[in-house]
Amino acid sequence: MSKSNIIQLSEFDITQKIIESLSNVCTRAVLFSIKNESKDATQIADELKISLSTVYKTLCTLEDLALVEVNKYIISSEGKKIKQYRSRIGKVEITLETSEPSLNLYPNTSNPKSNF
């Protein structure tokens, strides 16, 4: 049985996954866009001038990491149910004092529904 190296072990670490996700400029832009108000994917794509598929993929990743939530649903004029997303975090601190980074997530205080 071979011994796993630190990079392989880190792939399964949630802290590592969050740090990797937040290192992406698109991810940070989407997260910042929905910090103070709920928006649907189309609104985010239009505001940030990025493709709708990129926004959906980013939101899916952020939702999997519990960094965003569906705050509410609205019904479009065509009768479709549209998700409104909101950031669950208001502040992130990443500290590199040892070989393993420390991650502190703080709740989005402009979002009273979140309990992080």
pLDDT single digits (tens) 85-95: 999 999 999 88
For the domain made up of 7-107, give the CATH fold: Arc Repressor Mutant, subunit A (1.10.10)
Whether 77 has a pLDDT exceeding 90, the answer reads no
Rounded average pLDDT over 8-20: 74
* pLDDT tens digits along 3-13: 544 444 455 58
Q: Locate the domains of the chain by residue range.
A: 7-107
pLDDT more than 90, % of the chain: 60
Q: What angle do CA 92, 98, 100 make, to 5 degrees?
A: 65
Rg (CA), the chain: 16
pLDDT tier at 98 (50, 70, 90 boundaries)?
Answer: confident
Dihedral angle computed from the Cα positions of residues 12, 16, 19 and 24, in that order, rounded to the nearest 10 degrees:
-50
Residue 92's Cβ-count burial label (10 Å; 0-12, 13-18, 19+) is: middle
Q: Can you give the pTM of this predicted structure? A: 0.79
